[in-house]
């Protein structure tokens, strides 16, 4: 089963009794803030959950071809690292 945005909104509403439209607005704002932060090169760290960051990668002058054209030298890579606590919880389940 996949946890979609709509399922998150319903579940948060059920647990908190907040209005679904308020929860949806908060989630959309959170996604906007995270997107802007990652584009700006910042990292997102949620304690006991994960660290999410984007990094510039220099592929050098021989980056190969992409659709018959030279691939870009610099690319962005998004990395997600889980916390030790989350890893332990996943391994114990």
Domain ranges within the chain, ordered by starting residue:
1-40
pTM comes to 0.77
Return the pLDDT at 63.
67
Helix pair angle (20-39, 5-16), 10° resolution: 130
Q: What is the pLDDT of residues 28-86, one digit of tens each?
A: 999 999 999 999 999 999 999 999 999 988 888 776 777 888 888 888 999 999 999 99
How many angstroms separate the CA atoms of 62 and 23, rounded? 47
């Amino acid at each position: 089963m996949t946890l979609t945005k709509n399922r998150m909104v319903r579940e948060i509403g059920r647990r908190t009794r907040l209005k679904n439209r308020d929860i949806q607005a908060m989630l959309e704002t959170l996604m906007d803030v995270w997107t802007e932060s990652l584009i700006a090169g910042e990292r997102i760290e949620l304690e006991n959950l994960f660290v999410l960051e984007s990094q510039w990668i220099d592929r050098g002058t021989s980056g190969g071809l992409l659709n018959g054209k030279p691939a870009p030298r610099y690319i962005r890579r998004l990395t997600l690292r889980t916390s030790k606590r989350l890893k332990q919880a996943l391994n114990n389940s």
